[in-house]
A and B are shown apart, each in its own frame.
Chain A
C-alpha cells in the first residue's frame, strides 16, 4: 500500500524567508509518480510538479525548487523568498505505476498549511 506523510501540519514564516515543505512516501512499486499541489483559500488545487521514479534530477521553477531523493523516499518542496500569495495548503501526492492504464489512484498526504506573514 502506498502512503504519503507530510509531518509539518502548519508552517508560519515572514515574507522573503525561504521555506521547505517535507514529504516522505512509501510504495512497493519501482515505477511511481510524485506530485505537489497548492490549494489556496479559494479551494482550487493547482498542479505544481510531477516527477517519475526514474528521474531524480532536482528541478527549479521560478521560486519553487524540488529535491527528490529515492534513498530517503523524500520529495521536498522549497519556496525561495516567500511571498504572501504563497499562503496556501500544499499537498504532496503519490501514484503507483500505470499497470494497465485504468487502475490509477492518487494518494495525497494530509497537507501542510503555509502562512506567509507580511
Chain B
C-alpha cells in the first residue's frame, strides 16, 4: 500500500481562524514532509520530519506549526494566516530521507 492520505481535501478559513491539516501513512516510512505549492509553480519544501523529529524548517513563518504525534501521522496547525498563504498543501513520506517520496492528494487551502 503506497498511499498517503490527507484531510481535509478543501479548506476555507478566515485570517483569525485556527485549523489543522492532517496527513497519514501506513507504509512504515520514517521521514515525512510538508510542501506548499502555488498555482503553476513547483512544490516548495516547508518542513521535514525524520524519525518523528523536526530536521528541516525552511524558514517558515510561525503561523504554520508542524507536529508529528507518531511515525504515521503528521499535522500542520494553521493560525492567523494571510490570503497569500492560499495554496495546495502537500504531504509526503519516504522510507528514509533520500529515498523517493510518495505524495498525498493535497489540501487546497483558501484564506479569506
Q: List the interface of chain A (C-beta within 8 A of B).
A: 33, 35, 37, 42-47, 50, 91, 95, 97-98, 101-106, 108-111
Contacts and interface: CB of A to CB of B under 8 A. Distances in A.
A95 B94 CA distance: 13
B45 A106 contact: yes
Contacts, number: 62
Contacts of A97: 98
B8 to A, nearest CB: 14
A109 B88 CA distance: 17
B102 A47 contact: yes
Interface in B61-112: 88, 90, 92, 96-106, 108
A35 B100 contact: yes
Contacts of B88: 43
Contact of B103 (A45, A95, A101, A110): A45
A103 B105 contact: no
Given A102-B97, A104-B56, 8 more contacts: A45-B43, A45-B103, A50-B99, A104-B97, A105-B48, A106-B33, A108-B42, A108-B43
B9 to A, nearest CB: 9
Contact of B97 (A50, A101, A110): A101
A105 B50 CA distance: 12
B21 interface: no
A111 B39 CA distance: 12
A97 B97 CA distance: 10
B96 A101 contact: yes
Given A44-B103, A44-B106, A105-B56, A98 B42 contact: no
A103 B50 CA distance: 9
Given A50-B100, A102-B50, A43 B105 contact: yes
B98 A45 contact: no
Contacts of A33: 98
B48 A104 contact: yes
Nearest to B30: A101
Contacts of A42: 105
A18 B104 CA distance: 29
